[in-house]
Amino acid sequence: MSQDSKVKTTESSPSAPSKARTSLPVLDPSGDYYYWWLNTMVFPVMYNLIIIVCRACFPDLQHGYLVAWLVLDYTSDLLYLLDIVVRFHTGFLDQGILVVDKGRISSRYIRTWSFFLDLVSLMPTDVAYVRLGPHTPMLRLNRFLRVPRLFEAFDRTETRTAYPNAFRITKLMLYIFVVIHWNSCLYFALSRYLGFGRDAWVYPDPAQPGFERLRRQYLYSFYFSTLILTTVGDTPLPAREEEYLFMVGDFLLAVMGFATIMGSMSSVIYNMNTADATFYPDHALVKKYMKQQHVNRRLERRVIDWYQHLQINKKMTNEIAILQHLPERLRAEVAVSVHLSTLSRVQIFQNCEASLLEELVLKLQPQTYSPGEYVCRKGDIGREMYIIREGQLAVVADDGVTQYAVLGAGLYFGEISIINIKGNMSGNRRTANIKSLGYSDLFCLSKEDLREVLSEYPQAQVVMEEKGREILLKMNKLDVNAEAAEIALQEATESRLRGLDQQLDDLQTKFARLLAELESSALKIAYRIERLEWQTREWPMPEELAEADDEGEPGERASQGGEGRTAQEGP
């Protein structure tokens, strides 16, 4: 009955789904929608940072495009207002879980400084236009308080872009442009305050031909500010106190800016070098080692060519070191997405458990071989198998010239040598010479890594051994008699082990019984000794002991008599 009432209540309230449809969703601060909204907020913030100061210092710019400025101003205000709405619908993490309760989101946002700055940035200071006139853009300086949104957008972009170093340089150049832009606007405003053309330092008199144009005014001011802030020199000497103060302030700003630029560029270069060292092995140490050990020039040339191939073609040989900071599960997913298709091509790994393949993917070691280099030779002990990712390898004769076959991308070899298959006539020895024709990229899986993984998957080990046996049968390299003998020997060994286990269990049982009998006997003896002690206390004292007591000191006799009386009274 309660279920029916619940259903009726839900059906009788059609306004509930309509409210759910009209309500705004809660945004994930790490999601794409929030990221694109931050990028949208870059435009109104940059507009206010650049244009308001320029309009306040260049009157011709303000008067000539007043309607356009008013439209852009109130469009940016509308985006500022929408940004507050977005803030009220942006979740946050609590104990690692995204909070989507709008009540908690609102109360948390209201208690932060961001809410106060957002409100102040939207204060209607434009109302003063009624008294001061519309040509006073300095009234909108409170819009600068939204600059933290600009920094947040830049930080998110830096973490998402595929070229973070290039983005850092671009961001630095943008900051430099804004500083020079503000300084040029202040220079023009100071020149107007002191008087155009009063000396060589200020902006020339606009009455001169060409200097009355707005474009010329801004470019001249920007050029003059660039000369000062870059400390290039070649600027007119100041003649007034205000000009000296302006130059001193610019020089101090230039010193700080120069230090900031040098530090940022050094950081970018260091990050790039660190990334290269992480992705590619350091060849400088190897070159220095070869020179100190006087390695012949031909071998040294081969090593240098190998390093050059890795650097030019962006080959990585240390994927494990690159992904080591990721959680194990996430690292496995990345490795699976990159290498699982390659591993699944191997015949003995087909139809295996997905978890087994994920474990094996983490064990794959990328290797790169140079032209003419042998991957393995006939008779070598097989400790690993190889999967060809890219390139071509040839199966060659002992002379190294005659080719029997060419192996390409997607093929594999050496898989039988890493699985202990009974009756394998070749044992764990290589049966062919494999040489790289060009630069070849291989994946290597060692026997130890495979054994470590298969120890957790015994059923998969049985399946893989059966597949390997089928492959050896097709190749006529499986000795059935030897296999049967090994199986019989293994069964006999297992039978003896079971017998030894049974004998050991019997011995343990007998030993436990002996211990129990020993403990019982010890308890009985202790009980008998205690009974004898109580019985001997009632026996009369011998005459020899009595005479010895009489010959003793009086004090001792008195004490012994007291003890005797106490003993007699005791029973």
Q: What is the pLDDT of residues 510-550, one digit of tens each?
A: 898 898 888 888 888 888 888 887 777 766 666 665 565 55
476 φ, ψ to 5°? 55, 40
One domain for residues 135 and 252: yes
513 within some domain: no
526 within some domain: no
Q: What is the pLDDT of residues 93-106, one digit of tens each?
A: 887 788 889 899 99
What is the predicted pLDDT for the residue at 21? 46
3-state secondary structure of 338: helix
**What's the CA gap between 406 and 403, in Å, rounded?**
7
5 within some domain: no
One domain for residues 309 and 326: no
One domain for residues 243 and 391: no
One domain for residues 233 and 301: no
What is the predicted pLDDT for the residue at 275? 66
Q: What stretch of H or E contains 369?
A: strand 365-369
Q: What is the pTM of this model?
A: 0.61
Tally of domains in the chain: 3
One domain for residues 198 and 333: no
One domain for residues 368 and 444: yes
One domain for residues 132 and 250: yes
379 within some domain: yes
80 within some domain: yes
Q: Which residues is 435 bridged to in the sheet? A: 374, 394
**What's the CA gap between 105 and 89, in Å, rounded?**
7
Beta-carbon contacts of 199 under 8 Å, excluding residues fewer than 6 positions away, are: 236, 239, 240, 243
Distance of CA 231 to CAs 64, 135, 173, 227, 248, Å? 34, 35, 17, 6, 11
Please report, for the chain, how many H helices and E strands are present, in that order.
22, 10
Which among 313, 328, 350 is the end of a domain?
313
Nearest to 445 by CA among 405, 385, 514: 385
398 within some domain: yes
One domain for residues 137 and 187: yes
* CATH code where residue 442 lies: 2.60.120.10
Range of the structural domain that residue 195 is part of = 32-266
26 within some domain: no
Return the residue matching tokens 């071989």: 369
What is the predicted pLDDT for the residue at 7? 35
Return the residue matching tokens 């309660």: 2
CB neighbour class for 201 (10 Å; exposed up to 12, middle 13-18, buried from 19): buried
- Angle (CA) 231-233-237 rounded to 5° is 120
What residue ranges in 429-515 does DSSP mark as E strands? 433-436, 440-446
Q: Which residues is 386 bridged to in the sheet? A: 413, 444
Q: What stretch of H or E contains 406?
A: strand 403-407
3-state secondary structure of 122: coil
One domain for residues 111 and 238: yes
One digit per residue, pLDDT tens: the chain, 571 residues? Answer: 444 443 333 333 344 444 444 567 888 888 889 999 999 999 999 999 999 999 999 999 999 899 999 999 999 999 999 999 999 999 988 877 888 898 999 999 999 999 999 999 999 888 888 888 888 898 899 999 999 999 999 999 988 888 888 888 899 999 999 999 999 999 999 999 999 988 999 999 888 888 889 999 999 999 999 998 887 767 888 889 999 999 999 899 988 888 888 888 888 777 776 766 666 666 777 778 888 888 888 888 888 888 777 777 767 666 766 777 788 778 777 877 877 777 777 666 777 777 777 777 878 888 888 888 898 888 888 888 888 888 889 989 888 888 888 888 878 787 777 777 766 666 677 778 899 988 888 888 888 887 887 777 777 777 777 777 777 777 676 666 665 666 667 777 878 888 888 888 888 888 988 988 888 888 888 888 888 877 777 666 666 655 655 555 444 444 444 444 434 444 3
Q: Which residues is 395 bridged to in the sheet? A: 405, 434
Tell me the two tokens of residue 524.
């009985």
One domain for residues 69 and 177: yes
One domain for residues 135 and 84: yes
One domain for residues 307 and 333: no
276 within some domain: no
Which among 458, 483, 508 is the end of a domain?
483
